[in-house]
Chains A and B, each alone.
Chain A
Amino acid sequence: MAELADDKTRAVGTAPEPADTARPGMLARALDSDLFYSFRRSPVTVVSAVVALGLVLSAVFAPWIAPHNPFDPASLSILDSFLPPAWAEGGDPRFLLGTDDQGRDMLSTILYGMRISLAVGFASVIFAMLVGITLGLVAGYFGGFLDSAIMRVADVQLTFPAILIALLIDGAARALAGPRAYDEIVFGVLVFSIGLSFWVQYARTVRGSVLVEINKEYVLAARLIGLRASTIMFKHVLPNVLGPVLVIATINLALAIIIEATLSFLGVGVPPTQPSLGTLIRIGNDFLFSGEWWITIFPGIVLAVLALAVNLLGDWLRDALNPKLR
């Protein structure tokens, strides 16, 4: 943690390099950059990155590495339910981390569940980024009526806490789509309702940066030579605000995973036949007192480690990209 703080004093290059740099040199340049230097100098960050990458990869490749397919009901037997981890008394070597109330292998279920949690997390952050950046650019660049309209909508949005938004949208979607279709769109609904609570941050950040950039000479010059507004925004203004956006995105990713878990606790979210990490914790929560701790503790640990790793990366990124802390 201290290393992490230490590096803020190091020089960190944030000025975007011209895009015409020779391609072969990219990796070498990246490795040589100040950002990478600060990364290398912080063991905590390196460990977080390795852990996060490991978890993401094992989630992506879950169908290949998981010993069972927990989503195939025909392979489950209720008689295998509630088996403790393999090393504990009564454990079964087939199920390393034990089984849940339906006889699903915990390890496989966690891998598949993490896949769903991460997918929801990434998708909702990307959704929020796309909406937020676009609206922020538009608001900042054009100002006037568009600006105040967008910012008022943002105010309304802020009025609704994320949990409430998600509860309401989910209820509406469930009823509108009908339950059968709902199972197919539940992913989209979650992404939409979680993402919706994030976009304001991006919009405000981007708008703020645009307001600063827009009066700089290079933008004026670009305008003078007749470049289109969209070109100026995406090619010249946007790269300058990517740093803060990336920081928000990392922290949001962790938050999105936790919100998904919380929603699942409130009974909203993915169906229990295809559980996310949050759903697993919610199910396991019922068995905490009865001694079947592995059903909730293992997914809980994975969720916490994942969120912690991502948060630490976000922390480092924020400090590393903050020119004021140089």
Chain B
Amino acid sequence: MLAFALRRLVQAIGVMLVVSLISFVLFRFVGDPVNQLVGVDTSPEERAALREALGLNDPVLVQFARFIGKAVQFDFGISYQFKQSVAGLIGQRLPATLELSFVSALFALLVGVPMGVYTGLYRDTWLARAFLAVSLIGVSLPTFLIGILLIFVVSVNLGWLPSFGRGETVRVFGSWTTGLVTASGLQSLILPSITLGLFQMTLIMRLVRGEMLEVLRTDYIKFARARGLSRRAINFGHALKNTLVPVITITGLQIGSIIAFAIITETVFQWPGMGLLFLQAVQSVDIPIMAAYLLLIAFLFVLINFLVDLLYVAVDPRIRIGEATR
């Protein structure tokens, strides 16, 4: 187990280095940060001097080495636009994104799994058909359109829920703020979480349904029926349990993509998280923020993959670590 974990750790570091190098090379082409740092009246000479001072004239590899050298000490430099330390900024914004992602994932699971079980068990009822149809619409509309329509209907026309932002937040410890303990914070979470979680909910529901359909056909379920076990015990004790391995895996892997897709949800709802920070950074070519964000995303993905692997091993004894690749 330890050797397995260590090997994955080394791989993870490699993956993160590659990710950051690729992204770093690409940054050069996103635009000229200097234009965003100064007003329009600034002379070309001053712009050139600033470019030199920021080290933007150095070769990419030199810039990259400098970046990594500092990143290992958790120093991601200073944001060009905010003129604050990037680590601090991300620290401020991370809670918003994590809370949103967590609630979205929870929503996807809590709604997706029961709907999946139901549609798997009672395939022919009109409710099951309705679930399926609605879920398909969820994956057939772009996230941003869903968000905008929700704001338009629920916030503007009905006036039920806030249209943007996190509501009131409370500082828990350090720079961690939470919106989970205030009424306005909880209200503000509803629309963005639905928007962000809808796609994953559909995915989970369809996955559970598919797995249920398969499992219900297996021999041991037939035997269980033959043994006269109650329907309830079969459905939930045996069938659902067996669908959980893929569900755990997929949900785990989806957390990463939830965090990534939060970029769009956060833009639509002006949610003050990392995704919004990243998009603002892309628009104003704030390289330190972009670099740190991508590194963090890579880290989260690697971490999640790692955890899912471990969980997989724990849940499914058939998987032997030594032969992980074949």
A residues near B (Cβ < 8 Å) are: 1-2, 5-6, 8, 143, 147-148, 151-152, 155-156, 158-164, 167-169, 171-176, 211, 254-255, 258, 261-262, 265-266, 278, 281, 285, 288-289, 296, 300, 303-305, 307-308, 311-312, 315, 324-325
Contact = CB atoms under 8 A, between A and B. Distances in A.
B140 interface: yes
A155 B304 CA distance: 12
Contacts of A162: 260
Contacts of A281: 142, 145
Contacts of B298: 159-160
Interface of B: 11, 14-15, 18-19, 22-23, 25-26, 28-31, 123-124, 128-129, 132-133, 136-137, 139-145, 148, 152, 156, 213-214, 217, 253, 256-257, 260-261, 263-264, 267, 279, 282, 294, 297-298, 301-302, 305, 325-326
Contacts of A255: 139
Contact of A324 (B22, B214, B257, B294): B214
A159 B15 contact: yes
Contacts of B213: 5, 8, 325
B260 A158 contact: no
Contact of A160 (B19, B137, B143, B263): B19
Contacts of B279: 266
Given A148-B325, A171-B29, A161 B297 contact: yes
A254 B26 contact: no
Given A254-B139, A300-B145, A159 B26 contact: no
A159 B30 CA distance: 21
A210 to B, nearest CB: 12
A163 B263 contact: yes
B301 A158 contact: yes
Given A171-B26, A258-B140, A300-B141, A163 B133 contact: no
A209 to B, nearest CB: 14
B260 A163 contact: yes
Given A5-B124, A164-B297, A303-B142, A325 B214 contact: yes
A300 B143 CA distance: 12
Contacts of A307: 139-141
B194 to A, nearest CB: 17
5 contacts: A2-B123, A171-B30, A172-B30, A174-B29, A307-B140
Nearest to A261: B142
A278 B15 CA distance: 33
Contacts of B22: 168
Contact of B282 (A161, A171, A254): A171
Contacts of B260: 161-164
A262 B264 contact: yes
A152 B11 contact: yes
Contacts of B28: 175
Contact of B19 (A159, A278, A304): A159
A41 to B, nearest CB: 14
Contacts of A148: 325
Contacts of A161: 256-257, 260-261, 297
Given A155-B15, A262-B264, A168 B140 contact: no
Contacts of A151: 325
A6 B124 CA distance: 8
Contacts of A258: 139-142
User: What are the 8 closest A-B residue pairs judged by CB atoms, nearest first?
Assistant: A161-B260, A175-B29, A307-B140, A1-B129, A171-B30, A172-B29, A5-B123, A308-B140
A148 B324 CA distance: 12
A13 B133 CA distance: 27
A156 B18 contact: yes
Given A5-B124, A300-B145, A159 B302 contact: yes
Given A156-B18, A168-B26, 6 more contacts: A1-B133, A158-B305, A171-B282, A289-B152, A311-B139, A324-B214
B260 to A, nearest CB: 3
B263 A155 contact: no
A288 B148 contact: yes
B140 A254 contact: yes
Nearest to A161: B260
Contacts of B15: 152, 155-156, 159
